[in-house]
Every structure is written in structure tokens, then in C-alpha cells.
Amino acid sequence: MFDQPGVGALHVIVHGVVQGVGFRYFVLRRAQPLGLTGWVRNLPDGTVEIRAEGPVSKLQELLAALPYGPYGAHVDRVEHLAAVPTGEFTDFLIR
């Protein structure tokens, strides 16, 4: 997924029953302890979008948790792309 170890970035779209079930808080509670920066938000089409930056190993941990989500969520598909880290984020937030 990533070309080299170190710091990376992810852009993720999560499909399924992921709005109204605490999915954004689930992502926040996983991303912050991992030291990741970026954001998570609901999109009008019912999906959840995530932009995360940090150590590649920590990004992989976050990505591995997404198919499970919180109780009540049903994840059908997780689309993800490696991205170029910008360093513009100082925390991980819900938008």
C-alpha cells in the first residue's frame, strides 16, 4: 500500500451502514491514541470519508479496524488510497 516506511497518509471511503451509528467517533477513538492526524466526516451519499496522516504502521492499524466499526455499523466496503502527507494537521478531528 505504501511505497516506503516512515510517515504516510491515507484517503479512505467507508461504505455500508456507517452513519448514525457512531462510526466517526469510532474512527476518532482509534486514530488519536495511534498519534494520527487528520479528520473523519460523513458524506451526503451515506459514506464516511477519512483523511489520516502519521507513521505507516499506525495507519495500517487504523485501516485494519475500519471493516469492524462500532456496534450497529455494517461495513460493506472500505476503499483506500495511499496519499502524500502534507503535515497540515495537528490533531485528528471529526468534521
pLDDT of residue 46: 97
User: How open is the CA angle 28-69-11, to the nearest 5 degrees?
Assistant: 60
Q: Are 7 and 53 in contact (CB under 8 A)?
A: yes
Q: What is the mean pLDDT of each run of 10 residues along the chain (95 residues)?
A: 72 97 98 97 98 96 96 96 93 97
Does the annotation count 95 as an active-site position?
A: no
Does the annotation count 41 as an active-site position?
A: no
pLDDT of residue 5: 62
Choose, from 29, 30, 41, 42, the residue flagged as catalytic: 42
Runs of H (alpha helix) within the chain: 23-31, 56-65
pLDDT of residue 94: 97
Domains parsed from the chain with CATH numbers: 7-94 (3.30.70.100)
Going by C-alpha positions, the residue among 42, 1, 37, 39 that lies closest to residue 18 is: 42
Contacts of 90 (CB under 8 A, 6+ apart): 37
pLDDT of residue 6: 84
